[in-house]
Amino acid sequence: MKTLPLKKMLVLACLSLGMFARATVITVTVASNSFSPATFNAFVGDTIEWVWAGGTHTTTSTSVPAGAATWNHPMTSSSTTFQYVVTVAGTYNYWCAIHTTMMEGTITVTPNSVPVVTDPSKTFASVFPNPASAVLTIHLEAYAANNELLITDVLGKEIDKETLKGTSNEIDISKWAKGTYLYRLKCNDKVMQGKFEVQ
């Protein structure tokens, strides 16, 4: 059985950890009686930043997962930003306490994948570099007939879906918009999830 040199293994491990541990700031614009985006996905550890663009509003949680902190913050010309770090997986619902049902939002938070990376028995691929600008590489430890890759934006919109061929695959991302993307990689009965930045 052929093994990778120690230096290469360390590089791949660092790239994988960088992929999964990198926290993202997701910006929500508050204006015109709406949150934009109002509904989106995030990972545990990400920061949600509401940015005021007009009017008199609040960002106020209406329901959060057990163990998560609630929030209630004005969004006005004198209070233009508010940041909240999501620490618990689950669904977070919020609204503007002034405009209530006219102005609502939902954040769906999934666990960060760092525990998967720290368990070598469950790691079966490396996705790098992160951030990426032209090409995203997916390196599989072993090729299987059923390797499926799904990439979405943070709102859950499908960006790319394909069956991987061989152990090393390159995805052309040179024309993709800058921002955060989520991926789901399935290899037979194993699944890896993570995120990467396009710059």
In degrees, rounded to 5, the angle at the alpha carbon of residue 163 between the alpha carbons of residues 158 and 164 is 115
Tell me the three state secondary structure of residue 16. helix
Question: What is the bridge-based pairing of β-strands 72-75 and 100-110?
Answer: unpaired
Q: List the one residue out of 34, 32, 37 whose CA is nearest residue 48.
A: 37
Peptide bond between residue 65 and the one before it cis (omega within 30 degrees of 0): no
CA distance 30 to 52: 5
Q: Tokens 């059923």 correspond to what residue?
A: 146
Tell me the three state secondary structure of residue 33. coil
At residue 122, the pLDDT reads: 55
Strand arrangement of the beta sheet that strand 90-96 belongs to: 39-43, 100-110, 90-96, 57-63, 72-75
CA distance 104 to 33: 9
**Residue 118 predicted with pLDDT over 50:** no
Confidence of residue 2 (pLDDT cuts 50, 70, 90): very low
Q: Cα-flanking dihedrals φ and ψ of residue 15, to 5°?
A: -65, -40
At residue 83, the pLDDT reads: 94
pTM of the entire structure?
0.54
Domains with residue ranges and CATH for the chain: 25-110 (2.60.40.420), 124-198 (2.60.40.1220)
**Residue 164 predicted with pLDDT over 60:** yes
What length does the chain have? 199
**167-191, pLDDT tens digit by residue?**
889 999 999 999 888 888 888 777 7
Count CB-CB contacts under 10 A for residue 164.
Answer: 20
Checking 76-81 for CB contacts under 8 A at 24+ apart, the result is 76/52, 77/52, 79/52, 80/51, 80/52, 81/49, 81/50, 81/51, 81/52
**8-35, pLDDT tens digit by residue?**
443 344 333 333 344 688 999 999 889 9
**29-82, pLDDT tens digit by residue?**
999 889 999 999 988 888 999 999 999 999 999 999 998 999 999 999 999 999
CA distance 90 to 70: 13
Mean pLDDT, residues 188-195 taken together: 78
